[in-house]
Amino acid sequence: MVFIPPPHDQNGTAASSSKDISHWVDYQIRIRYAETDQMGVVYYSNYLIWFEIGRSEYCRKQGFSYAEMEAQTESFLAVAEVSCRYHAPAHYDELVKIRTSIASLKKRALRFQYQILNKQNGILIATGSTTHVILNKNGSPKTLPEKYALLLRNPLSKNTGPRRHPWERRPDDPII
Amino acid sequence: MVFIPPPHDQNGTAASSSKDISHWVDYQIRIRYAETDQMGVVYYSNYLIWFEIGRSEYCRKQGFSYAEMEAQTESFLAVAEVSCRYHAPAHYDELVKIRTSIASLKKRALRFQYQILNKQNGILIATGSTTHVILNKNGSPKTLPEKYALLLRNPLSKNTGPRRHPWERRPDDPII
Amino acid sequence: MVFIPPPHDQNGTAASSSKDISHWVDYQIRIRYAETDQMGVVYYSNYLIWFEIGRSEYCRKQGFSYAEMEAQTESFLAVAEVSCRYHAPAHYDELVKIRTSIASLKKRALRFQYQILNKQNGILIATGSTTHVILNKNGSPKTLPEKYALLLRNPLSKNTGPRRHPWERRPDDPII
Amino acid sequence: MVFIPPPHDQNGTAASSSKDISHWVDYQIRIRYAETDQMGVVYYSNYLIWFEIGRSEYCRKQGFSYAEMEAQTESFLAVAEVSCRYHAPAHYDELVKIRTSIASLKKRALRFQYQILNKQNGILIATGSTTHVILNKNGSPKTLPEKYALLLRNPLSKNTGPRRHPWERRPDDPII
């Protein structure tokens, strides 16, 4: 089914409020034929798969592998809630930029937020968020191991430029 | 990834408020192996596919085929927004009940709401909603053809009770 | 992507030769919107998911749940090989009949064969087969537990006719 | 479900015989969580999606976009047949190399062959092939437009070496 841009706030998304604790990690994918439906656009559930890719790459950029965390500490980031707004359609073979950020991070829960953009023309395709709780192998809530909490909080893993702390804003930094 | 029951209101979901204009249509599916992930539970994006099945069956129960509407009137129910809360995990081979209802219906937009339950034990697995706009073949907004608006509004397609035509409104029918 | 009927033998499929050790078990599904692609037909990998549904239902008809077998005996029917021929396209909302049969059954391997038909007009949509080996939890080959081998071999689970126990073989039962 | 290495010929695959008309085009992907199933490995139908990615990238390497060919000439490479052998399991987050080659190319049909390898350790995960016919928008067979036939045949699009036009054949070029 197709998607259309619903009326939304001026800056296109509520995902980049100043309260964000984190930066954005970008990752690029190319849209698969399998991801389209008979409307000729990407089927709406596939965006949640892209969100998951964004989470994986966010972890990698922060210095650890989500796969390893799951295997070694038996800690699972279970999805408790998801929301997604579809702003513009996406098509087969287009390059898409998945932007991922952490919106909140607590001992037993965290929230990721996402922006999906068309890589070629910069158009915002979708925005969304996922709320997670940390579970052990048996499905009971647990605390996120400190090692990974620290890594996720690390503000220095920005894509470009020298490593800085978040409070070291430069005049030319984008206003967010 | 696994899902857990987030804290929620007493009755398990906000989906069945008295303001709902519609009844619920139930449909049963059996969970496929393909729908599981390495956590041993249903992967979180598959619930959106179940929602879509719910919409299709809701239309069928109201007396029309969504496939035919799309083909004959070139009207598409584009998804503008989705949200889903995961209350309990779902597993391979379990029977699942998809409950679908219309939360609001306007000329150019409508909203479905969903409840996903374990058929065997009645446990609430997930709740969610999708907001749609009606688009023509070129992706421009249009009005939902009157024929289908009437059919969707028809409160008489309830699982129980005699069938009536949409214009046979009764005094106690919900105002929409 | 779309599919076309390749030239094939007169009877449409090689799947129903007289050497088959088993009967066919039928199961019906309705095609999901999510299963279509931008050509307006079912994407070709989804047929393998339908094959898997066929296997599950074959087991159920033979008197056991594949899910239970996996959980209780830690025996997994790993796919070693698959082939599929696409004879005619399939579309959203069509009813499809999945026909499943066992082509061969050995101690450590078995082969299922499938026919996919349009339920409404009887047209043959696809044929295929999957070869499986039995693995334990660690991925090492093992023998299919005798209980399930017997149930799978049971020729009496035919859609018609009285139920018999697997050891109540009749003279005219196929030798396997 | 899991996969195991079935007994096969000495060189691991029949895909690289000397009769191949073409070279191999490589493309790398990272395995998604969504692609796993409850056995902890990649679900078997996802390999067909990887094959499709291989085809897309093969076309791109040969100098055209499959998406554009489909849109501009209304020529569709419909899948008529697929086969896949699963040699070793694949897991979440692993890097996978998709190797694609053309096995045969005729006016109205062509066949791709594939090798899937674990990028890190070089282990062969799967091999397969897809047979395609060329269809027009209405699903009738047609001839592959000459422009694209030439591009697909071009043996000079090898990863290394200078680019030449398709008619600049060299004595040592493979005969096709």
Widest CA span in chain A: 49
CA B112, CA B22: separation in Å to the nearest integer?
Answer: 10
Tell me the mean pLDDT in the region A138-166.
74
| D5 compared with D60, residue with greater pLDDT | D60
Q: Kindly report the average pLDDT of chain C as a whole number.
A: 83
CA C95, CA D103: separation in Å to the nearest integer?
Answer: 35
Residue C52: list chain B partners with CB under 8 A.
Answer: 32-34
Of D1, D33, D34, the CB nearest to B33: D1
Percent of chain A with pLDDT over 90: 73
State which amino acid sits at residue D96: V
Residue A141 DSSP symbol: B
Q: Which residue has the tokens 């085009």?
A: D25
Chain D touched by A95 (CB under 8 Å): no
With 50 as the cut, is the pLDDT of residue D17 above it?
Answer: no
Residues 6+ apart with CB under 8 A from C122: none
Closest CA to A115 of A35, A14, A41: A14
Check if B20 is active-site.
no
With 70 as the cut, is the pLDDT of residue D169 above it?
Answer: no
| B31 compared with A160, residue with greater pLDDT | B31
CA A70, CA A88: separation in Å to the nearest integer?
Answer: 34
Residues 6+ apart with CB under 8 A from A19: none
Lowest mean pLDDT among A152-156, B25-29, C64-68, D98-102: A152-156
| pLDDT recorded at residue D4 | 46
CA B152, CA B134: separation in Å to the nearest integer?
Answer: 14
Residue of A nearest to D64 (CA): A93
D109-121 per-position pLDDT tens digit: 999 999 999 999 9
Q: Does domain D25-152 have CATH number 3.10.129.10?
A: yes
D41-52 per-position pLDDT tens digit: 999 999 999 999
Q: Kindly report the average pLDDT of chain D as a whole number.
A: 83
Q: Does this complex have an ipTM over 0.85?
A: no
Residue C42 DSSP symbol: B
Residue A77: list chain B partners with CB under 8 A.
Answer: 1
Tell me the mean pLDDT in the region A141-146.
96
* CATH of B25-154 among 2.130.10.10, 3.40.50.720, 3.10.129.10, 3.40.50.150: 3.10.129.10
The three-class DSSP label of residue C86 is: strand
Enter the pTM of the model: 0.83
Q: Does domain C25-153 have CATH number 3.10.129.10?
A: yes
C81-138 per-position pLDDT tens digit: 999 999 999 999 999 999 999 999 999 999 999 999 999 999 999 999 999 999 999 9
Chain B touched by A86 (CB under 8 Å): yes
Residue of C nearest to D50 (CA): C45
- The length of chain A is 176
Question: Six-digit token pair at D149?
Answer: 């036939």
D64-83 per-position pLDDT tens digit: 999 999 999 999 999 999 99
Beta-carbon count within 10 A of C142 CB: 17
Residues 6+ apart with CB under 8 A from B122: none
CA C98, CA C152: separation in Å to the nearest integer?
Answer: 18
Tell me the mean pLDDT in the region B124-135.
98
Q: Tell me the pLDDT band of B21, cut-offs 50, 70 and 90.
A: low
Q: Are the beta carbons of A27 and A54 closer than 8 angstroms?
A: yes
